[in-house]
A and B are shown apart, each in its own frame.
Chain A
Amino acid sequence: TPSTLFDPLLSSAFSALFFKTLSHLFSSPIHLCPALGEIALCPNNHEVHIYKKDGTKWTKIHELKEHNGQVTGIDWAPESNRIVTCGADRNAYVWTLKEGTWKPTLVILRINRAARCVKWSPKENKFAVGSGSRLISVCYFEQENDWWVCKHIKKPIRSTILSLDWHPNNALLAAGSCDFKCRVFSAYIKEVEEKPGPTPWGSKMPFGELLFESGGSPAAAQTSGASGGWVHSVCFSHSGNRLAWTSHDSTLCVSEGGKNGTLTSLSSETLPLLCVTFITENSLVAAGHDCYPVLFVYDGAKGSLTFGGKLDVPKQAAQKGISARERFQNLDRRASETQNTDKDLNTLHKNSISQISVLEGGRNQCTKFCTTGMDGGMGIWDVKSLESAMKDLKIV
């Protein structure tokens, strides 16, 4: 059972949760359904486990077993209460709760490599799956045949899709790929929705249309020598007018207004960032291999992206005696029984943070967000408390 680690000095800023099981590599995402107080996660195997919060305890209430390979993506649609999962077995399943158990429905993605990520669209009538087959499978339910069908977006993707994010209009889809590009496609499916109106990203949106591709001009590449890295994470702002993405070359970029708009990038001094989200229309929080979340501020008028501050409070707690359980946890997480303060990471997460999710307030006025990491830990961060706990931190 997971234990709750609770440092009284920092209790207002965040509470931390560590899953003391085999699940140390949360490279498989967790999905939180804050409305129900439940979490769906993959403990680094072929299964999905659902935990429910009971006061301060978390109890496992379901085990979803159907995949034949590592589960690589989970997304929970809160309105329709359905879960979609995708895995290394090249399949996706849509799970619905029937009489107290989650029942899977197979969705054939027609891919010949592992699925890597999955996201429900805002209206929950479609979902998109990124895979190693260098394409995106956009799936929707066909009433007449009572099954899920999918359409492929292939051109001009040239490598694995690592991340996806839907625009609030339910039609546009951003995709980050290992071919070093971030793109915006139209995933408009006429069978399930009305034609979307024009947006700053474009007005003609047939399915599969490429509306934006990062990578800049050769001129830009020459001056900075920047040719990018794998695009780990993509995120639309609440309005959908801005798109942010993080790359393996330790950069964060924001595009506003698509092809004919602006592209602002920041070369970070940190290790690569693996995940990013907007918390207001101007502020972003990203995290990655440095194991702590970072605030960035985007100024559309000035076209600037700046570092806003490190969002982690180093532990200043006095050394106390170590319990047997803590010894075991340290051994599990760090291969050493004691917390050696010299080489110790003084951050909440002891390994890379792989995912960041907004829990409350949405992407325009986020009040709580959650980070999950490869240390098997999940941290819940309170934005107001962070602002007061950290001098000079201003969230605009």
Chain B
Amino acid sequence: MSKNTVSARFRRVDVDEYDENKFVDEEDGGENQMGPDEAEVDSLIRHSCTGNLTEALHAVLKNPPINTKNQNVKDRAEGLVLKVLSSFKSGDIEKGVQSLDKNGVDLLMKYIYKGFERPSENSSAVLLQWHEKALAAGGVGSIVRVLTARKTV
């Protein structure tokens, strides 16, 4: 069997980068997207009874940092969402999901899958409970939209 003595570095070249017809996503100007308001959300959680937690949920789903390239903003938003989701009692999750409109359920699904990507100490368990209720509300279509979104949280 002959041995390849020539450099194999060419195999690491990404030829698509040199394609002049390469598809480039449109720029959507996300520089001003700051994510949900941390102060507002925190105060709603602190003064939480179920009613306020639902408000906290709505507040944390506002201004999703979808178009921004700033990873810190995205991480902060995800952390804040996880905080709100973890504050709910298991029995109240369904009501929380039902208070959302279609777009809200889709957005929640995006945050849930984002959360799955980097699990922390109890996060997956909480997220799985939310996932079950969000799936019941949004159907597999909401998961399809997580998969096809070119820009996400």
Q: B-contacting residues of A (Cβ < 8 Å)?
A: 134, 158-159, 179-180, 218, 221-229, 248-251, 267-272
- Nearest B residue (CB) for A224: B103
How far does the alpha carbon of A180 sit from the alpha carbon of B28 in the complex, in Å?
15
Distance in angstroms from A228 CB to nearest chain B CB is: 8
Say whether A267 contacts B151, CB under 8 Å: no
Say whether A134 contacts B151, CB under 8 Å: no
Q: How many A-B residue pairs have CB under 8 A?
A: 76
Distance in angstroms from B4 CB to nearest chain A CB is: 33
- B64 at the binding interface (Cβ < 8 Å): yes
Contact bitstring B112-153, A, C-beta under 8 A = 1, else 0 = 000000000000000000000000001111101100111111
Say whether B144 contacts A225, CB under 8 Å: no
A221-B28, A225-B151, A249-B149 given. 5 additional CB < 8 A pairs?
A: A222-B33, A225-B103, A225-B149, A226-B149, A227-B148
- Nearest A residue (CB) for B67: A222
- B107 at the binding interface (Cβ < 8 Å): yes
Distance in angstroms from A351 CB to nearest chain B CB is: 17
B140 contacts which chain A residues (CB < 8 A)? 250, 269-271
- Nearest B residue (CB) for A179: B23
Distance in angstroms from A178 CB to nearest chain B CB is: 9
Q: Which single member of B23, B66, B110, B152 contacts A159 (CB below 8 Å)?
A: B23
Given contacts A250-B144, A267-B141, contact A218 B106 (CB under 8 A): no
- B51 at the binding interface (Cβ < 8 Å): no
Say whether B21 contacts A134, CB under 8 Å: yes
Distance in angstroms from A123 CB to nearest chain B CB is: 34
Say whether A225 contacts B139, CB under 8 Å: no
Given contacts A179-B23, A249-B148, contact A269 B28 (CB under 8 A): no
How far does the alpha carbon of A269 sit from the alpha carbon of B149 in the complex, in Å?
16
Given contacts A218-B28, A224-B106, contact A269 B141 (CB under 8 A): yes
How far does the alpha carbon of A214 sit from the alpha carbon of B26 in the complex, in Å?
13
Q: Which single member of B23, B102, B141, B151 contacts A158 (CB below 8 Å)?
A: B23
Given contacts A134-B21, A218-B28, A248-B148, contact A225 B142 (CB under 8 A): no
How far does the alpha carbon of A281 sit from the alpha carbon of B7 in the complex, in Å?
64
Say whether B144 contacts A249, CB under 8 Å: yes
- B29 at the binding interface (Cβ < 8 Å): yes
Say whether B149 contacts A268, CB under 8 Å: no
Distance in angstroms from A106 CB to nearest chain B CB is: 27
Say whether A225 contacts B107, CB under 8 Å: yes
How far does the alpha carbon of A298 sit from the alpha carbon of B107 in the complex, in Å?
25
How far does the alpha carbon of A340 sit from the alpha carbon of B67 in the complex, in Å?
46
Say whether B148 contacts A229, CB under 8 Å: yes
Question: Which residues of B in the span 73-120 have a Cβ within 8 Å of any Cβ on A?
Answer: 102-103, 106-107, 110
Say whether B142 contacts A269, CB under 8 Å: yes
- Nearest B residue (CB) for A270: B141
- Nearest A residue (CB) for B144: A250
Given contacts A249-B144, A250-B145, A267-B106, contact A218 B151 (CB under 8 A): no
How far does the alpha carbon of A155 sit from the alpha carbon of B64 in the complex, in Å?
33
Sample of 19 A–B contacts (CB below 8 Å)? A158-B23, A159-B23, A218-B67, A221-B151, A222-B30, A222-B64, A224-B103, A224-B106, A225-B149, A226-B106, A248-B148, A249-B145, A249-B148, A249-B149, A250-B140, A267-B141, A268-B139, A270-B141, A271-B141
Say whether B106 contacts A225, CB under 8 Å: yes
Say whether A225 contacts B64, CB under 8 Å: yes
- Nearest A residue (CB) for B152: A225
How far does the alpha carbon of A267 sit from the alpha carbon of B107 in the complex, in Å?
12
Interface hub of B67, B110, B144 (most chain A Cβ within 10 A): B144
Given contacts A269-B138, A269-B139, A270-B140, contact A226 B28 (CB under 8 A): no
Distance in angstroms from A219 CB to nearest chain B CB is: 10
Say whether A223 contacts B103, CB under 8 Å: yes
Distance in angstroms from B146 CB to nearest chain A CB is: 9
- Nearest A residue (CB) for B140: A271
How far does the alpha carbon of A159 sit from the alpha carbon of B21 in the complex, in Å?
9
A159 contacts which chain B residues (CB < 8 A)? 23
Say whether B139 contacts A226, CB under 8 Å: no
B107 contacts which chain A residues (CB < 8 A)? 224-225
Distance in angstroms from B44 CB to nearest chain A CB is: 21
How far does the alpha carbon of A224 sit from the alpha carbon of B66 in the complex, in Å?
10
- Nearest B residue (CB) for A134: B21
- Nearest B residue (CB) for A228: B148
- Nearest A residue (CB) for B30: A222
Question: Which residues of B in the span 48-64 have a Cβ within 8 Å of any Cβ on A?
Answer: 64
B150 contacts which chain A residues (CB < 8 A)? 180, 227
A270 contacts which chain B residues (CB < 8 A)? 139-141
Say whether B141 contacts A268, CB under 8 Å: yes
**5 A-B pairs with the lowest CB-CB distances in the bound complex, closest first:** A269-B139, A250-B141, A249-B148, A229-B148, A250-B144
